[in-house]
Amino acid sequence: MTDYDARHDGAFADDTGRPTAENGMTRRQLLRHVGWFGGAVVLTVASGEVISHIAGSPDANASAGAAAAGSGALRFVQVSDSHIGFQGPANTDVVGSFAEAIRQVNSLGFRPDFVMHSGDLTHLSTAGQFDQVKQMMAGMRTDRVFTVPGEHDSIGDAGRAYRRTFGAGTLGDGWYSFDTHGVHFIALVNTLSLEKLGHLGTEQIDFVRKDVAGLSSDTPLVVFSHIPLFAMYPKWGWSTDDALQVIALLRRFSSVTCLNGHVHQLFTKTDGNITFHSATTTAYPLPQPGRAPAPTPQVVPARQLKEVLGIRSVGYHRGDRELAIKEQRLA
């Protein structure tokens, strides 16, 4: 994982160089998490080339301004990994932090065209948890709410309870696509084969093949999934074993953006015409790949928790073919 380590290298220690744990996370590790989860990236797509800018730079501000301008603007929000039903010291009030995320969506200064929840809506797939998160999301000021399931939404029944609550109008095990503002969106399900996270399967890959067959190669694509569609850290199930078959189908398009959850942290990877963005969470942080024996919830000081949680807003302006992605903390 060279790309990852290049951005998040080094051991964790205090200012003297000694590793000193505080509530399960060292001081420097906490500071890294604060910066890492709160970072903002603006993605510009022009003439088939994907260019990233640091948020706040002139280029980034120009991209965001272009995306927000005019009647042709598309603006949507991604939230992820609310884990309603989780109980543990990493976050003793996941309902409260998800409610704060909803308040932040409602305070963005614009009404999103839609909100996408990219999985792990619940923690244990119970009917009560699905009902609670659905009722909470009904409070979002947006025209539409979309979802894809996480593995925590598929526990024990291969996602049937999830689909009863959120699967209306979807195909197969819950996948679907839609078009708006000149952008084609594809929502995939890669969390049902729990013995080999993640996995798409031949039926879903065939769906993608047929779905994109009639699209012009200059159509911007946005693909949602819970688990990354690239090999971020397979040892922890942070990859999709058959994703390359879908990626091959997307290579002919000049602009492809893949947005996922699952890993509870920001990460960006560009592979030719395809850019992958992992989202943060509204529940609790997870460790960096390889920095812990397993991806278990990380405890930070309570006063700092909202600094490592957040939402993502995305803007697109059809005339300029620009896609602007901004990460926002709950704090």
Residues with Cβ within 8 Å of residue 82, at least 6 apart in sequence = 94, 98, 101, 117, 120, 121, 122, 133, 281, 282, 283
Burial class (CB in 10 A: 0-12, 13-18, 19+), 213: exposed
Statement: the pTM of the whole predicted model exceeds 0.95: no
Could you give the CA distance from residue 227 to residue 188 in angstroms, rounded to a whole number?
Answer: 10
Residues with Cβ within 8 Å of residue 92, at least 6 apart in sequence = none
In contact, 263 and 4? CB cutoff 8 Å: no
Q: Which domain holds residue 109?
A: 2-329
Could you give the CA distance from residue 208 to residue 216 in angstroms, rounded to a whole number?
Answer: 15
Burial class (CB in 10 A: 0-12, 13-18, 19+), 182: middle
Handedness of CA 66, 308, 36, 129 (dihedral sign): negative
In contact, 119 and 226? CB cutoff 8 Å: yes
Mean pLDDT over 99-111 rounds to 95
Question: Average per-residue pLDDT in the chain?
Answer: 82
Share of the chain above pLDDT 90, in %: 70
Mean pLDDT over 55-83 rounds to 64
Could you give the CA distance from residue 136 to residue 1 in angstroms, rounded to a whole number?
Answer: 37
Phi, psi angles (nearest 5°) of residue 188: -110, 160
Mean pLDDT over 18-22 rounds to 34
What is the tally of structural domains in the chain? Answer: 1
| pLDDT tier at 195, thresholds 50, 70, 90 | confident
Residue 45, pLDDT above cutoff 80: no
User: Which residue in 223, 224, 157 sits closest to 192, CA to CA?
Assistant: 157
Two tokens, residue 204: 């879903």
Q: Give the CB-side neighbour count of residue 97, counting CA atoms within 13 A.
A: 34
Residue 41, pLDDT above cutoff 50: no
**pLDDT at res. 322:** 54
> Looking at residue 33, which CATH number applies to its domain?
3.60.21.10
Q: Could you read off the pLDDT of 23-36 as tens digits, one per residue? A: 343 434 333 333 33
**Would you give the end-to-end CA distance of the chain in angstroms?**
30
In contact, 72 and 181? CB cutoff 8 Å: yes
Burial class (CB in 10 A: 0-12, 13-18, 19+), 127: exposed
Beta bridge partners of 325: 314
